[in-house]
Amino acid sequence: MRKTIKGFSKLSKQEKIDWLVMTYFNNNESAQTILEQYWNADKKLQQLHDEFIENTITNYYLPFGVAPNFLINNKVYAIPMAIEESSVVAAASKAAKFWYDRGGFKTSVLSTEKIGQVHFMFHGDHNKLERFFEQIKPTLLSDTQSITKNMEKRGGGILNVELRNKTEHIDGYFQLHATFETLDAMGANFINSCLEQFADTLKREALSFTSFSEEERQIEVVMSILSNYVPNCIVRAEVSCRVDELTENANISADEFANKFIQAVAIAEVEPYRAVTHNKGIMNGIDAVVLATGNDFRAVEAGVHAYASRSGKYRSLTHAKIENGIFSFWIEIPLALGTVGGLTKLHPLVKLALEMLDEPSAKELMQIVAVAGLAQNFAALRSLTTTGIQEGHMKMHLMNILNQFGASNDEKTKLIDHFKTNTVSHSAVVEALENLRN
Ligand code: MEV
């Protein structure tokens, strides 16, 4: 059977499925059945999802959960989270409650600048290129007027364009390095459109710059694209309380807990193997909110991890200290998010998530997302430094194991009760289920 196909995207949805079922599933009908199970009965809603991407054959569900009781700058939020990992929403909710009773989260946006670059090759006199750039800078800006005028009306737009010489890295390599304020939009389309116009203007103006030689006029644009590294689009979130308020459970004193917590963060500041896992836990919270609110979690992930390595070494994104008896724990991260454009008005669940958050501005959403990351890290470190992570994880994973073995609702109720006082492990659950069934 041939496993390649020409013109796949032109086939109807059913033809695509027929081809897949025939080619990859031995004509087994259960593949078709599984795909169909996830179609939405509402045809219009299904069509909306079909048209998000090319070659849609079904929908891929993630649970959409809510972590309530987040007190952020004295306002209470229920935070929507889309994620498959069983313990994340529970952990966020526990951390929210813990900090609700201790004054909540304090947040602020430190900066909102986005970045984009035109990467180009110029072989010639660098001084002439600099003079050329200074001369055409007003034209670069005026040529983008039709793209920027609406954004400017609202107070955003292009902040600056610089010429950057990168020839020490690659012979002939220069950049137009531009900065933008995109307000409530994530800004990818706006930035990329401006950059492509810059590239056209750059090439066009070079052709008539009289000081250039024939070769110098042939500026070669390699590409024009925004950067997902946004180290000047930073949000900060923090929690703090007196050390003696940090009572965690009866087995550990507030003092001991605070000190172990500080040590755990310190380890993630110096040890990259730990820092990656530490930051992964932060991203559990961040990605879930980013996804639920229709934002691009790959962009956020890429930018955040680059930021974690900005010193040349990969480090923790959170920090903690005890000063004058006060425990503080905080995060500062770059987040390029939007609350207009993209999926925000299109995807019904995204609309609902934003409504649940009281229609936040992009700046407000940055703060909510940073809080979700900090809360998640607090919950993870709290478990790691006290009971260990498996207790909570396995409790949450219990339902997955029960479902895997087709437990009935009655069996689930009995076993959930049983495992309130027994340690959950895969084999213990199997054994308990067998005992129950016998
Ligand atoms: C698991 O998804 C996340 C943790 O590993 C994070 C951490 O170790 O800090 C629990």
Predicted local confidence at residue 250, as pLDDT: 79
Closest CA to ligand 1's atom 2: 281
pLDDT for the residue numbered 247: 84
> Looking at residue 370, what is its pLDDT?
99
- Is the C-beta atom of 278 inside 6 A of ligand 1? yes
Residue 264 Cβ inside 6 Å of ligand 1? The answer reads no
Which among 200, 111, 219 is positioned nearest to 147, based on CA atoms? 200
Pocket test for ligand 1, best of 260, 273, 280 (most atoms within 8 A of CB): 280
> Ligand 1 atom closest to Cα of 284?
2
Nearest to 59 by CA among 83, 77, 41: 41
Mutate to test the pocket of ligand 1, among 389, 391, 394, 396 (most ligand atoms within 8 A of CB): 389
Burial class (CB in 10 A: 0-12, 13-18, 19+), 121: middle
Q: Which helix (H) or strand (E) holds 73?
A: none
The CA-CA-CA angle for residues 373, 376, 382, to 5°, reads: 140
Q: What three-state secondary structure class fits 186?
A: coil
Ligand 1 site, residue 281, Cβ cutoff 6 A:
yes
Q: Is the CB of 414 under 6 A from ligand 1?
A: no
CB-ligand 1 contact for 389 (6 Å cutoff): yes
**Of 231, 230, 120, 116, nearest to 177 (Cα)?**
116
Q: What is the CA(380)–ligand 1 centre distance, in A?
A: 6
235-254: string of b/e by CB count within 10 Å (b at 16+)? bbbbbbbebeebebeeebeb
pLDDT at 215: 96
**CA end-to-end span of the chain:** 47
Q: Residue 281 C-alpha to ligand 1 middle, in angstroms?
A: 4
Shortest CA distance to 375 belongs to which of 98, 150, 110, 49? 98
Considering Cα of 85, then 89, then 90, then 94, what sign does the dihedral take? positive
**Closest CA to ligand 1's atom 3:** 281
Pocket test for ligand 1, best of 284, 316, 317 (most atoms within 8 A of CB): 284
Q: How far is the centre of ligand 1, averaged over its atoms, from the C-alpha of 272 (Å)? A: 14
- 103: closest CA among 220, 212, 208, 241? 241
User: Atom 4 (ligand 1): residue with closest C-alpha?
Assistant: 281
Q: Are 38 and 27 in contact (CB under 8 A)?
A: no
User: Is residue 86 in contact with ligand 1, taking CB distance under 6 Å?
Assistant: no
Contact 284 CB / ligand 1 (< 6 Å): yes
Identify the residue whose C-alpha is closest to ligand 1 atom 6.
Answer: 281
What is the CA(307)–ligand 1 centre distance, in A?
A: 19
Tokens of 333: 């991260």
Q: Report whether residue 402 contacts ligand 1, using a CB cutoff of 6 Å.
A: no
Hey, which residues are catalytic here? 85, 280, 296, 393
392-412 core/surface letters (b: 16 or more CB in 10 A; e: else): bbbbbbbeebbeeeebeeebe
Query: Residue 41 has what DSSP assignment?
Result: S
Is-contact 301 95, C-beta < 8 A?
no
Q: Indicate the pTM of the whole model.
A: 0.93
| Contact by Cβ (8 Å): 306, 229 | yes
Measured in Å, residue 276 CA sits from the centre of ligand 1 at 9
Cα distance between residue 55 and residue 9, in whole Å: 6
Ligand 1, residue 278: give the atom nearest the CA: 9
- Atom number, ligand 1, closest to the C-alpha of residue 389: 10
Measured CA to CA, the distance from residue 95 to residue 279 in angstroms comes to 17
Cα gap 141→189, rounded to integer Å: 17
* pLDDT tens per residue across all 438 residues of the chain: 578 999 999 999 999 999 999 999 999 999 999 999 999 999 999 999 999 999 999 999 999 999 999 999 999 999 999 999 989 999 999 999 999 999 999 999 999 999 999 999 999 999 999 999 999 999 999 999 999 999 999 999 999 999 999 999 999 999 999 999 999 999 999 999 999 999 999 999 999 999 999 999 999 999 999 999 999 999 999 999 999 999 877 789 999 999 999 999 999 999 999 999 999 999 999 999 999 999 999 999 999 999 999 999 999 999 999 999 999 999 999 999 999 998 888 999 999 999 999 999 999 999 999 999 999 999 999 999 998 877 777 777 888 899 999 999 999 999 999 998 888 889 999 999 999 998
